Amino acid sequence: APLDNDIGVSEATRIDPNAWVERWKAAGHYQAEAALLQCTADTLADAVLITTVHAWQHQGKTLFISRKTYRIDGSGQMAITVDVEVASNTPHPARIGLTCQLAQVAERVNWLGLGPQENYPDRLTAACFDRWDLPLSDMYTPYVFPSENGLRCGTRELNYGPHQWRGDFQFNISRYSQQQLMETSHRHLLHAEEGTWLNIDGFHMGIGGDDSWSPSVSAEFQLSAGRYHYQLLWCQK
């Protein structure tokens, strides 16, 4: 879901083609569909290794190639490795990560990382690294205009319900999907969805905001590389 800064001065009747959101729309980032290119499963001595390769495509063009391996051992612990290639002719993406809808709705979220309030790669000065524990409802920032919100950076461990994730990542978690945030005009129109939506990002762009009308994310906070790699561990507590 775009930020207000991503939209800038772009309006329904007066589109600003330079706004981040308009560049992502034009390139097909929101409409891209995943095509499965490869899926293999191998039995190891103490685990199963699943490998998948997806091409994210729009109108015949490949925007991203995503390679994932899932190593699942006998205890149910899953080690996830992700490699992403970004096409050279597509706008820098807003984030590189994974999204899942968890069946559980737990009362609290516990993490080791930056907090307690939301923080983004170019908004870290007021965030402190510590062990934090907050109600799930506090992980959502209630902006009047629903948008991307609630990111916590520099996370080394996340605990929610029976689940634990370990690695080096950013995350946001709430009852609202990115799709609903993107399609809803005012916060009072949002409705809690089934389960809990979790976004775990290996990489996330900054939010900019040097002014309120131009795409002002500094170059060092843009995802301008052609390849990205990250890992995380998902297990049951």
Looking at residue 6, what is its pLDDT? 85
Q: Is 6 helix (H, G, I), strand (E, B) or coil?
A: helix
CA 162 to chain centre: 21
Looking at residue 191, what is its pLDDT? 98
Q: Please provide the size of the chain in residues.
A: 237
Looking at residue 135, what is its pLDDT? 99
Q: Which domains does the chain have, with CATH numbers?
A: 4-236 (2.70.98.10)
- 219: pLDDT strictly greater than 90: yes
**pLDDT bucket at 211, cuts 50 / 70 / 90:** confident
Q: pLDDT tens digit string along 16-39?
A: 888 899 999 999 999 999 999 999
Judge whether 22 and 16 are in contact, CB under 8 Å.
yes
Looking at residue 12, what is its pLDDT? 64
Share of the chain above pLDDT 70, in %: 97
CA distance 141 to 186: 13
Question: With the C-alpha atoms ordered 166, 129, 120, 221, is the resulting torsion angle positive or negative?
Answer: negative
- 172: pLDDT strictly greater than 90: yes
- 195: pLDDT strictly greater than 90: yes
**pLDDT bucket at 15, cuts 50 / 70 / 90:** confident
What does the pLDDT average to over 53-74? 98
CA distance 60 to 82: 24
What does the pLDDT average to over 192-197? 98
CA distance 44 to 122: 42
